Amino acid sequence: MAIDRLDRVRLGMGAIATLRDQINETTALAVWSEGGPVVVRWERPRRPIIVNVVTGTNLGLLTSAAGRVFAAWLPPAQIDPLLAAALAEPRCPADIRSLADAHALLARVRAEGHAQISGNYAVKGVEALAAPVFNFRNEISMAMLIVAVEGSLDLGSQSPVIRALHEAAAALSLRLGATGRPEAA
């Protein structure tokens, strides 16, 4: 019960600040709301050109890395109606045209342990990575994000930035009492 009372956002703020210091990129924290993922905090890197993330911004379910992470780990009964609505939006990615396409994408997100966006989905010229943070029930609680100018992040399978994001999200999950990453919603 004590773990349940921890202030997850306060712990998350510290975690994204530490991650920012480690990788020198913009980092952010998103939580789930009735309208989907919303940014609750971001940290500015120490470099001359940065991507500004506005606190309170609602993120798209299929057009943002955080949206894809939440959709991958929230229960299908909760997500499927929202996916159907997202598929009807004009900004829906061209390669996702059906619920089956969306489920295939979300299965890849779960398998990789993170989502990445590059190529003008939400904001032109910006790319993002997101990884899930789990609570003591091993349910998704938050998403940690890295946001950068398109083309500036190493998005390869051996990327040190992706590895740092995974490690930071896993460490925060442990602090929130998680005992492992769920394989599926």
Q: Is position 100 within any domain?
A: yes
Q: Is position 180 within any domain?
A: no
- Distance from first CA to last CA of the chain, Å, rounded? 23
169 versus 148: which is more confidently predicted?
169
How many domains are contained in the chain?
A: 1
Q: Is position 18 within any domain?
A: yes
Q: Stretch 68-84: mean pLDDT, rounded?
A: 93
Task: Evaluate whether 64 touches 89 at the Cβ level (below 8 Å).
Answer: no
On whether the pTM is more than 0.95, the answer is: no
Which pLDDT value is given to residue 88? Answer: 86
CA-to-CA separations, 83 to 67, 100, 105, 183, in angstroms, rounded: 10, 10, 12, 20
Q: Calculate ∠ Cα 109-91-166, nearest 5°.
A: 25
Phi, psi angle pair for 137, to nearest 5°: -90, 5
Per-residue burial over 116-138, b if 16 or more Cβ lie within 10 Å, else e, is bbeeebbbeebbbbbbbbbbbeb
Q: Choose among 116, 46, 50, 102: nearest CA to 74.
A: 102
CATH for 91: 3.30.450.40
DSSP 48: S
Range of the domain at 146: 2-175
121 versus 109: which is more confidently predicted?
109
Q: Stretch 132-158: mean pLDDT, rounded?
A: 88
Q: What percent of the chain has pLDDT over 70?
A: 86
